[in-house]
Structure 1
Amino acid sequence: MNWLADLVRGHRTRIGSRWRAPPAGRIAGIVLAMLRCDQRPGDLADGNGVHRTTVSRWVREVVALPAARAPRLDRALRKIARSGGGAVLLDGSLIRTCRRTGTGNRKNYSGKHTCHGLLVIALTDDNGRLVWVSAVRPGRTSEITACRHDNLTAHLRAAGLGTITDLGFVGLDDSGPDADPAVNTGYKAARNKPLTRGQKLSHKTLATVRAPVEHGFAHLKNWRALGKIRTDPTWATALVRALPVLTNREVAR
């Protein structure tokens, strides 16, 4: 909360805001209570003597501050490479949203999860620390399509890193048979055909490395604001990029 309050004070200085009723620390506490504990804006407004729309405006302003500090993909990968890391873990997750009427919301329906939501792709290190989160995309988008849209394999090769994924990303790496793969996935066994020893080892390795990814997503989903995320892609992207910054600080503390 103190770190977020410092960001609010610096933002006030930059925009030249001369006066606001509550101090920056109280604003940070109100915003974190709404994001972390899913408190209603009306209750927070009544308890602090402000209007409900003021609380909503504070949330939009404060969320943009840590979202602007979220690392870009190429910078995050270079940082891992400089620290001695050799691979990152890749996975996708669907953030559920409310079902709205109209044809414009049909693209948010995921046939895989049979619900409405927004898809995000995340990279974590081997300890489950969230490194990078992509922009949100409609729920009907496949994980491979989202990774190709972000040119993930090109960024991994440029940084000299590899990534380990599950079976959902088979076919993502389009390198030739003689090239060093940047994306390592498992094997799809043929029907009624047992797995070979190498395939069994691959599945065992994937089961071991998948635990840190789920650990990182568990920290991200502890923020209850994700459960009521709006379908506005601009707001959703700012929120999913701001929460890993706050999550990593919370885990480090």
Structure 2
Amino acid sequence: MRRPAAHKAGRQRFISGKARANTVKALVITDAEGRLLFCGQTRPGSTHDLTQVCQAGLVELLALVPGVTLLADAGYQGLSTQTAGAVLTPRPARRRNQIPGFPAVAAAHEAERRAHASQRIHVEHGISHLKNWRALSRHLGRREHLDTILPAVAGLVSSQERAPRPESLHRSLKALPGGTAA
């Protein structure tokens, strides 16, 4: 993202607290296989993840639809209580300076965190498909245009995911009677 001019009004809103960089964030939801389901509006980088979810109306939506479970990263801790357990976040990591507990408890804690991460990696892969597009990975234009670019790229990624893959097409041609594929 291009850095705005120094001493420009409102510049601090886009400075991320984590990355300390000029950032913009978007709420992205994928299914368990990493296929894109929802892509929300962009927000300044200083916006907290929970604030973004509340502004998007996701908390109210999850209250209306029972039986839906979302896997979220650690930035969404606390959302589970607002949605009656519909959002699963990893348990906080043990601090290095924390008094060591029982080894079995520590091992179970790590196993739980690894299980959550192994399920969530598909979500991260789905998000990375968005970032593969140059229009999002190296956006040099105006920040105001991202709200129109992001849904366009999300639509292209979504249609690309639903299109048949060449190798599956190749296998289906071989399966036809008398069909040969070069």
TM-score class, shorter-chain normalisation, is 0.7 to 0.9
Deviation string 1:178-214 (CA, Å, 9 cap, x unpaired) is x841111111236334555653343122111221112
The amino acid across from 1:150 in the alignment is A
Deviation string 1:99-118 (CA, Å, 9 cap, x unpaired) is 01113222111121121111
Matched, 1:239 2:149: yes
What's the % identity of the aligned pairs? 26
The two structures have a TM-score, normalised by structure 1, of 0.55
**1:132 is matched with which residue?**
38
| C-alpha spacing 1:251/1:185, structure 2 compared with 1 (3 Å) | same
Matched, 1:228 2:136: no
Q: Verify the 8 A CA contact 1:166 1:206 in the aligned structure 2.
A: no
CA distance in 2, matches of 1:180, 1:149: 18
Q: Verify the 8 A CA contact 1:119 1:138 in the aligned structure 2.
A: yes
**1:110 is matched with which residue?**
16
Higher helix share: 1
**2:116 is matched with which residue?**
206
> What SS does the corresponding residue of 1:136 show, helix, strand or coil?
strand
Runs of 5+ consecutive residues of structure 2 not aligned to the other structure: 164-182
Q: How many pairs are equivalent?
A: 153
Matched, 1:216 2:123: no
Matched, 1:141 2:51: no
The two structures have a TM-score, normalised by structure 2, of 0.75
Q: Return the offset for 1:174.
A: 3.2
| C-alpha spacing 1:231/1:173, structure 2 compared with 1 (3 Å) | farther
RMSD: 2.1
Runs of 5+ consecutive residues of structure 1 not aligned to the other structure: 1-96
Q: How does 1:21-32 map to 2 (within 5 A)?
A: none
Q: Verify the 8 A CA contact 1:128 1:216 in the aligned structure 2.
A: yes
CA distance in 2, matches of 1:193, 1:243: 47
1:181 corresponds to which of 85, 97, 100? 85
